Amino acid sequence: MNYKESAQAIYDAVGTEKNIVSLIHCMTRLRFKLRDESSVDDAAVKQIPGVVGVNHQSGQYQVIIGNDVANYYNELAKLGNFTDDNDDAEPEKTGEKVNWFSRFASFISSCMSPLIPALIGGGMIKVILILLPLLGWLSTKGQTYAILSIFGDAPFYFLPIMLAYTAAQYFKVTPMLAVTIGAIMIHPNFTAMVTAGKSVSFMGLPVTLANYSSSVIPILIMVWLMKYIEKGVEKVCPTSLKSILKPLLVIFISGTLALVVVGPLGTYAGDLLSAIILFIQGKASWLAMPLMAAFMPLIVMTGMHWAFSPIFLAASIAHPDSLILPAMLAANVAQGAASLAVMFKAKNKNTKQIAGAASISALLAGVTEPALYGVTLKYKKPLYAAMIAGGVTGLFMGIVNLKSFAFAVPSLISIPQFINKAASANFINALIVLMASFVITFVLTWLFGIDEEPEPVAATATPVAETPDDNVASGSQTTTKIYSPMAGEVINLDSVADATFAQKMLGDGVAIIPQDGKIYAPFAGTVMTVFPTKHAIGLKSDSGVELLIHCGLDTVNLKGAPFTQHVQTDQRVAQGELLMEADLEQIKQAGYDTTTPLVVTNTKDFVAVEATDKTVVTKDDVALYVI
């Protein structure tokens, strides 16, 4: 499925950004709020590959996709600045408790990830500036070298401005006002004051002389504060003067705080973090390096490697990094080697393709996310192999004090970042780390093996002699019993007041008009997904049946308020285990239908889906038979 092409077609069909007010998605649908729904040709939208159907409901133009909806949403998000116009959708404003560490890690990753292409490009130019003079192809005193240095330095020098933009998108701050504050912090005249070293004050307030170029923490803190500054200014400004006063006050207040309070605090915080890490490294580098290299995959998973950016982004001949980038060299190569071993070891063709592509990405570009999320973390044993290799090579790096003399994401291509004329052994040590990490990881992954998932079995395959109670053998077919997840009245899907379910666009099944709000597991299996708004849950039985339980109709709009979640994604559940509780009265008072469809979303994989002949069921009664 080409998500990009289909997303572009959907985007064009609904009228592009000119007609789109906002876009969110639920378990199965893209939910557009459009300026003019009548301008959209429903028939044309239905013809787009991947689109199951469309629905006009609750002021939304709903494009029904199915379980793959998140992939289409991600591609659509790249085409325009779509936001949910309801501020209550922001994570920090929901009633759901969010782990502060997870929120911080998500924030750092969201802000830094869009900058990766620029940072990689600038870093590779710096690597070239190390390599070409060594080969005698470029003079360090020439103008070409000087201009290339500008190319390489620009992404790092103007990092606060770029971060201001990405952070503004995260916090929903006016982007150009945030960029302006970033520009104030690295303005040439202010930088000149810092260089001069004389005391500076602003309206009698002392200004700390700090160089904010290439800094990360100060601007991130500042944009977070701007979220509240903008809201405060919005409230006090008269409507007639808002277009003039709002930008004036926001820039004045934010600029003052940036130079007098936030900038210095952020700088001190970054310096303190760097000092602590460097202190530990200086006192026990033999311990710091193995730990950093071994746990680097987990650090990358959380996005917390960006918290060390004040250390590794400043890597240079004068101030080499002897911790983060060397650790990433071992970890990145290990991820690539583990994926390569999986490619050779696996029997499943799809696994081989994924692992092969992930290996190339990690080894040649230093981009480990495909390997981490698609291979090593999935099969676990390759991850253990990579972490062991990281720890072993990390010990060697700590002993020889391996250093990186330029920032570049460590990989086979960027290995010249470890070259320095004054430390010739450093490059040799880097090559030893690279080869050792690769060999150790590959061998360990091969020895550990992988718990590869078996090839899917057709629904009509001959069953084994013994079948569980909820799987009944009949000739060459197996029937899976799906128990009712709720007590209530059974109705046919075509009676549901929602065309998506009534027309069985997502699959066949039944619906329950519930008597109480308790939702139980209808079979033994795995929780595939629990949507953030908790109104729907996807399950997969041990026999391969994929079931969607959608509590109420259009209840996604309630933002999870009436629901209490008792299970997590990927959790193993037993038949009859409590999954969710719904406050039915609260749903009804909000004006929503509590009818709960049960849909076998992979209906096409089976011969038939038959409903029970009972009209009233409990959690101990069968609701569906999947043959």
Query: By three-state DSSP, how is residue 10 classified?
Result: helix
| Residue 619 confidence class, pLDDT cut points 50, 70, 90 | confident
Give the CA distances from residue 298 to residues 143, 206, 291, 335, 471, in Å, rounded to whole numbers and listed in that order. 43, 41, 11, 12, 40
Q: Is 187 a catalytic residue?
A: no
Q: Is 26 a catalytic residue?
A: yes
Does residue 175 or residue 299 have the better pLDDT?
175
Residue 490: predicted pLDDT: 87
| Residue 519 confidence class, pLDDT cut points 50, 70, 90 | very high
Residues 6+ apart with CB under 8 A from 359: 336, 337, 339, 340, 343, 371
| Residue 176 confidence class, pLDDT cut points 50, 70, 90 | very high
Does residue 541 or residue 133 have the better pLDDT?
541
Does residue 358 or residue 573 have the better pLDDT?
573
Q: Mean pLDDT, to the nearest integer, of 503-529? A: 88
Provide the token pair at 508: 């066949």
Give the CA distances from residue 275 to residues 266, 279, 311, in Å, rounded to whole numbers and listed in that order. 14, 6, 9
Residue 457: predicted pLDDT: 39
Residue 365: predicted pLDDT: 67
Task: Give all strands (DSSP E) within 149-295, no chain letters.
Answer: 200-202, 205-207
Q: Mean pLDDT, to the nearest integer, of 378-393? A: 90
| Residue 458 confidence class, pLDDT cut points 50, 70, 90 | very low
**pLDDT tens, residue by residue, 85-141:** 433 334 333 333 444 555 565 566 567 667 766 766 776 777 687 778 877 888 878
For residue 467, pLDDT over 60 is answered with no
**List 25, 305, 535, 550, catalytic entry:** 550
Does residue 615 or residue 564 have the better pLDDT?
564
Percent of the chain scoring above 90 in pLDDT: 19
For residue 273, pLDDT over 80 is answered with no
Residue 373: predicted pLDDT: 62
Measure the CA angle with vertex 292, ends 287 and 295; round to 5°: 120
| CA dihedral sign, ordered 506, 512, 513, 519 | negative
Residue 471: predicted pLDDT: 58
**List 25, 26, 305, 535, catalytic entry:** 26
d(CA 152, CA 76): 32
For residue 189, pLDDT over 60 is answered with yes
| Residue 371 confidence class, pLDDT cut points 50, 70, 90 | confident
| CA dihedral sign, ordered 461, 465, 468, 471 | positive
Across the beta sheet with 578-582, the strand order is 518-520, 578-582, 563-565
Bridge-based pairing state of the strands 609-611 and 518-520 = unpaired
Rounded to two decimals, the pTM is 0.45
